[in-house]
Each structure stands twice: as C-alpha cells, then as structure tokens.
Amino acid sequence: MSSQNGKNNDLENAINRLKRGLISKHYPTQAVAYKALYKNRDKSIPFLLRELKLLDLKKYNSVNTILAAGFLTILHDLDEKLSEQFVKKSITPKTDPVIKRSFDSILRFKRANFTETEHRGVLILEDKTLDQRNHATDFVLKWLEFIPDEDLTGIPRIYIIPRKPQYDFAGQYLPYIGVINLVWFEYDEQINFLNAMDRFFTQKTLYHEIGHHYHRHKEGGQVPSQEEEADRYAYKKLRIARPKVSRFLRMIAKIFRRNKNHAAKQTST
C-alpha cells in the first residue's frame, strides 16, 4: 500500500511540475515531468484525465489553454483512442476556438499515418499519403538548416500534411503547444518549374510560422501586426537561404510599388 502511495505521490509531483513548466514555458522542467509520466504510462492516464476534466474548456484564458493542450498532448501520446474519446465528449459549440484548434491538431497525429524524422529536438511528421516525389521531409530538413537552434526551441512537432479543400491556410502555428502544420502542394508531373515555385512559397510559409513562434505570438495568426512581424522573420531567413530568388522578388516588388505610386499620382492630378 505504501508503495502505491509513493507512486501516486511521484505522479502528483510530476503533474505539478508539468503545470509549472507549461505555464512558465520552461522546457527543461517540462521534460523532467514528461519523462516521469511516460515512464508510468498506464498509471499516469487517470491523473491526466482528472486534470483535463478540471479545466473550463469554454473559457478563454492563456493558462487554461496552455494546460489543456499540454495535458491532452501527453494523453494522446499514451493512448490515442482515449484522448479521442475525451475530446469527443468535451468539445461543444461553446468550447473556446483556440482550444478546439489545438485539440484538432493534437488528434490529427496518429503514428500509423505518418513517417517520423527527428531533427534537433523537433519531430518532423510527414503524412504517408503525400506523393513521395515531393521529398517533403528532405526539403524541410534542408530548410531548417538556416534556422538557429534557439529559434526552434519549444517546437515539438512539424506536421507536413496534404492540401485539402477545408483548409483555409498554407501553414498554421498553434501557440499553446508550439506545433506547426505545413500544407504541402500537389506534385505536378508536367511542369517542374511549378514544383520549384511551390517549394519556395512552402519554405516561406514554414519560416513564417517559425517566426510566429520566435516572436511568441499568442493569437496564432489573427493579428495583422503579428503577421507582418512573422513575414519579416521569413524574408530575413529567405535572404540567407535563397539569396538569388529573394533579390529577384524584391526587385519585382519594388517595380510594382513604383508603378502603383505612379498610377496614384496620375489619378490625383
């Protein structure tokens, strides 16, 4: 009995440590808690469910959202079916949309549907239905070489997913779990130039989403000033990764602005 109590105390301590790590965004503290919870997989599940049920999923609150995403992530890693059952019972029309987006992204991951590649602490997960001629993971790994380690800290996963009609985004950053969803284009058998152009804009999208993470944006792409800040981060990285293409696009943009200003002057006179 005392052994069981001791184990429960260890798990209570791990839960409390995880809360502190999530709220403070202190990743070493989170890592210690994760390790303890994963080590005691089956015994950890009731504690995680208890914490999730204590949260008010209808209320927008940064702490509330961080904890909900953190607890569900671990629960989903331990038992995918159980996490899906919890979300199905818990999500209602009144659920905070930020929490709902986080939960949707967490549940999207099913190990059987993805290939996994670890890179500097980030798990790159490619949907197995993507055309292998895209070499999507290889390109993402190449593009990440231009990103410093510290900019990637706190991003646990990057999902590479196929384009679908219901997606209204090319990329998505989920601030409270640090996950990035990167939509990949359809491979064109006839025109390789289009594949190259799509890769460029997909690379820009990846850097843009990392820019949201780097600047610690909390709204996940809903604020124009934050979008501009993420864009500046992306273009800065592209100037290093793709100097020739970046110079060409800046030149085109400069010509476009000049013509637009000239047309405005002509209209005003």
Q: Residue 18's closest CA among 41, 37, 2?
A: 37
pLDDT score at 148? 96
Q: What is the mean pLDDT of the chain?
A: 86
Contact 44/78 with Cβ under 8 angstroms?
yes
> Please, which residues bridge with residue 122 across strands?
119
pLDDT of 221 over the 70 cut:
no
- Write out the two tokens for 127: 């949907």
Q: Are 172 and 159 in contact (CB under 8 A)?
A: no
The pLDDT value recorded for residue 36 is 86
Whole-angstrom distance, CA of residue 40 vs CA of residue 11: 8
Q: In the prediction, which pLDDT does 44 show? A: 94
CA dihedral 15, 18, 20, 23 (to 10 degrees): -120
3-state secondary structure of 61: coil
Distance (Å, rounded) from C-alpha 25 to C-alpha 246? Answer: 34
Give me the pLDDT at residue 190, please: 75
HEC-encoded secondary structure of 83-134: HHHHHHHHCCCCCCHHHHHHHHHHHHCCHHHEEEEEECCEEEEEECCCCHHH
**What is the pLDDT, as a whole number, of residue 267?**
55
3-class secondary-structure state, position 185: coil
**Residues 126-179 pLDDT 10s:** 999 999 999 999 999 999 999 999 999 989 889 999 988 877 789 989 776 688
Taking residues 84-112, what's their average pLDDT?
89
